[in-house]
Amino acid sequence: MPYIYWVTLVLRFLGLGYVLLGLWLGNQWLAEQPDSNKFWKPLNPDSPIGWFTKTKVMALQNNPEQCHAFLQRAGVDFTPLSDRQAGQCQLHEQTLLKQSNYRYSATVKGTCPLIAALVLWEKQVVAPAAETHLASPIRSIAHYGIFACRNVRGSGRRSQHATANAIDIAAFTTESGQTIRITRDWEADTQNGAFLHQIHRQSCALFRGALGPDYNAAHHDHFHFDLGRFSFCR
């Protein structure tokens, strides 16, 4: 047979070998990825925030069964609530978070996806940030509220708070009794300030909306997290 035939045959076998090797290496790499980087896997409370975490959280909207299943996997104590009318605002898919990883300064009651995101945030954002920057784990979290039947300030558009789909976080208290306040520590060149900046930065990968003191004066003392239609991180 002509020399060129054997060369072509060898090249084809080499090409097939490279393809098979690539597929094998790709499968090995994919197997090592966390569940949050696999779009077909359900939301996993033990998986660090990854490529599809936010998409999976948003997929819990209008899907209370999957949302409740996630909260059960997370091992938190919660109670689903009936839909209700609150003034001019309608509240759907509401969930009461009775016990999670931390204590809160006030009742935590909002849309089920928001509660799911909050539980994931506690474990995959707050706890690692505290381990990195603080000498003591977090014991409790102060928030300014979840539900408020109102528009966005200075706008005719309804706030995500009007459907209890947002939460405003103000401070964190450690097991040792130290309180890290956004209004005081955000601009501080300290470990407390670094802790808050890591919280804000990583929250952007979980919530649709994540606003902090650098956004405007109205947020000088808290982080605003929501699961609204628009994605923004400021």
Task: State residue 202's pLDDT score.
Answer: 96
CA separation, residue 60 to residues 98, 100, 107, 126, 148 (Å):
20, 19, 22, 22, 22
This prediction has a pTM of 0.85
pLDDT higher than threshold 70 for residue 99: yes
pLDDT tens for 154-189 read 777 899 999 999 999 999 999 999 999 999 999 999
> How confident is the model over 134-160, as pLDDT tens digits?
999 999 999 999 999 999 877 778 999
pLDDT of residue 204: 95
Check residue 35 and give its pLDDT: 77
**How confident is residue 42, by pLDDT bands cut at 50, 70 and 90?**
confident
* pLDDT tens string 47-85: 999 899 999 999 999 999 999 999 999 999 999 999 999
Q: How confident is the model at residue 26, as a pLDDT?
A: 52
Instruction: Give me the mean pLDDT over the 194-220 stretch.
Output: 96
Tell which wins on pLDDT, 34 or 129.
129
pLDDT at 157: 86
Angle between helices 112-121 and 64-74 (to 10 degrees): 30
What b/e sequence results for 74-105 when a residue is b if at least 16 CB atoms lie within 10 Å of its CB, and e otherwise? bebebeebeeeeeeebebbbbbebeebbbebe
